[in-house]
Amino acid sequence: MKNNIHFANISYLSRELENKTISPVELVEHMLSRIESVDQRLNSYATVCADRAIKEARQAEREILAGNYRGRLHGVPLSVKDLCYTRGIRTMGGLKVRKNFIPTFDSTVVKKLGLAGAVLLGKSVSTEGALSGYNPEFEIPKNPWGSELWAGVSSSGSGVSVSAGLCFGSIGTDTGGSIRYPSMANGVVGLKPTYGSVSRHGVMDLARTLDHVGPLARSVEDVAILFDAIVGRDGLDPTSLSQEIAPISNSLRMNVENIALGVDSNYIESGTDRGLLSAIEEVIETFKTLGVSLVDVKMPRSDPQVLRDLWLPIVAFEAAKAHEETFPSRADDYGDYLREVLEYGLAMNERDYIEAQTRRKQYAMQFEAQLDKVDAVICPAGGFVFEVDAKAQYGDKETMASVIENFQGQFTIPSDLIGSPAIVVPCGFSDDARPYTFQLLGSKFSEGTLCALGYKYEQQYEWNLRHPDF
């Protein structure tokens, strides 16, 4: 572990840091050195906050040595998606129009990580405005499992930095799958929480009624630790929920016997790679041997394009409002894909938007009715890791369509429409070393149960101990 400390889990690091066997300053220096030598190939960081990281590490070391240990993130180096405001450090959101934007305050999620004693290594790359394409002004993150492989959508920098051992956890956002796709593509754990459970204050909007903030890390326990640090009511965020959420780290070792796991074979098989399907079938068998009750459910039928047509008008209308200061006045500074979506949103009126929200509610009721029958539903995390070129990811109209066809939105979009939680957990590899993952969906506030199931599965295998050799 000493030679590969950058691949350690937070749960391990926290014990070593508390016991003073690891120096926060030396740990951060190691991580900054690794980022400098490795990330020039992977492009996962938009900005590295070296000065801030060293300052925070020194403070953490002083506090820990003095016996003032704050908790399991004290002295742990993390990254956050470059949508999260950081005081005095640029926050671009993958946007050329925001290339020189420097916030005067920290987002609530960054502030909470700071209060927990975490160290901010830097800001991870996002797609343009957190949608599906990148602005040509910026580099595209490379998947550490293969440079020709897709790295996921908007939280791709977070997924790559976690998978490659360039941080110990990261904060991403999810509007249609942007925590779960990068987790799937990079073979890490990602938790999209209940809408409003984590504050969006100081996080750039894509679509305000769909945006979720959540953690990515290399183990289920680690995402639980991160979630517990950032969850909670925030008076600065009007969409923040007032309901108290108990720490989910305490739920990880709960007895999963007789927990009801919903299985819909037709839903799972929809558009799924055969190898991935076999891996998920093995996951289901593992849960069965652990005493989990398997229950047949029937998820609402909907192909990816139908769901995308349900989701996109809401995104387009709300994104156009979010960008009204710079679009269309600076339209030439936008990439092709985001520009087209914003134009779509500007062409809509309030009646169109209300109708889109009505259709959303109707679908959400159908989907949520199935979730309410069980404790969790298992399915893929959003397809299979596919090969993609830069032209397509920069939004070229002719090739972008082929990328979107690979988005298995039937597995990701529903829980964003509903605002319910989901977790992605690694479950193996293809013959050519592409990560396999599964997803657990649950009703609102079921994060603890989802993490307990994911943790129990994870303890049976060592998939999260296998790292990319790039």
Q: What is the pLDDT of residues 191-240, one digit of tens each?
A: 999 999 999 999 999 999 999 999 999 999 999 999 999 999 999 999 99
Instruction: Give the residue-averaged pLDDT of 47-69.
Output: 98
Helix (H, G, I), strand (E, B) or coil at 80: strand
Q: Which of 133-137, 170-174, 290-294, 302-306 has the lowest mean pLDDT?
A: 302-306
For residue 387, give the amino acid letter. Answer: E
Instruction: Give the residue-averaged pLDDT of 276-289.
Output: 97
User: CA of 456: how far to CAs of 183, 296, 381, in Å?
Assistant: 19, 21, 18
pLDDT of residue 258: 87
Instruction: Give the residue-averaged pLDDT of 429-440.
Output: 96
Selection from 72-81, 247-256, 457-466 with the highest mean pLDDT: 72-81
328 upstream amide cis, omega within 30 of 0: yes
Check residue 140 and report its DSSP letter.
Answer: P
Active-site positions read 81, 154, 178
Selection from 153-157, 271-275, 398-402 with the highest mean pLDDT: 153-157
Question: For all residues of the chain together, what is the average pLDDT?
Answer: 95
Instruction: Give the residue-averaged pLDDT of 254-260.
Output: 94
Q: Among 1.10.760.10, 3.90.1300.10, 3.90.79.10, 3.40.190.10, name the CATH number for the domain at 5-255+299-366+378-465.
A: 3.90.1300.10
Give the orientation angle of helix 220-230 with respect to helix 10-18, to 10 degrees: 70
Q: Give the DSSP per-residue string, 421-469.
A: -EEEEEEEE-TT--EEEEEEE-STT-HHHHHHHHHHHHTT--GGG----
Strands 422-429 and 435-441 come out as antiparallel
Instruction: Give the residue-averaged pLDDT of 326-350.
Output: 97
Handedness of CA 69, 73, 79, 83 (dihedral sign): negative
List the one residue out of 50, 42, 48, 35 whose CA is nearest residue 139.
42
Distance CA 50, CA 268 (A): 44
User: CA of 300: how far to CAs of 123, 154, 175, 359, 371, in Å?
Assistant: 38, 27, 20, 14, 11
pLDDT of residue 129: 98
Handedness of CA 413, 416, 417, 420 (dihedral sign): positive
b/e 157-196 (16+ beta carbons within 10 angstroms → b) = bbbbbbbbbbbbbbbbbbbbbbbbbbbbbbbbbbbbbbbb
pLDDT of residue 421: 98
Q: Which segments of 119-222 are extended strands (E)?
A: 119-124, 170-174, 189-192, 212-217
pLDDT of residue 464: 87
Backbone dihedral region for residue 9 (phi beyond 0: left; psi -120 to 50: alpha; all else: beta): beta
List the one residue out of 309, 334, 344 whose CA is nearest residue 176.
309
pLDDT of residue 2: 61
User: CA of 323: how far to CAs of 6, 254, 299, 308, in Å?
Assistant: 38, 45, 35, 21
Confidence class for position 462, pLDDT limits 50, 70, 90: confident
Q: Where are the domains of the chain?
A: 5-255+299-366+378-465
pLDDT of residue 401: 76
In degrees to the nearest 10, what's the CA dihedral of 451, 81, 236, 212? -40
Q: How many CB atoms lie within 10 A of CB 374?
A: 21
The answer to whether residue 1 scores a pLDDT higher than 60 is no
Kindly report, residue by residue over 370-387, the tens digit of the pLDDT.
999 999 999 999 888 999
User: What is the separation of C-alpha 356 from the centre of its chain, rounded to a whole number of angstroms?
Assistant: 25
Provide Rg for the chain, Cα atoms: 21
3-state DSSP of 232-295: CCCCCCCCCCCCCCCCHHHHCCCCCCCCEEEECHHHHHCCCCHHHHHHHHHHHHHHHHCCCEEE
Distance CA 170, CA 164 (A): 12
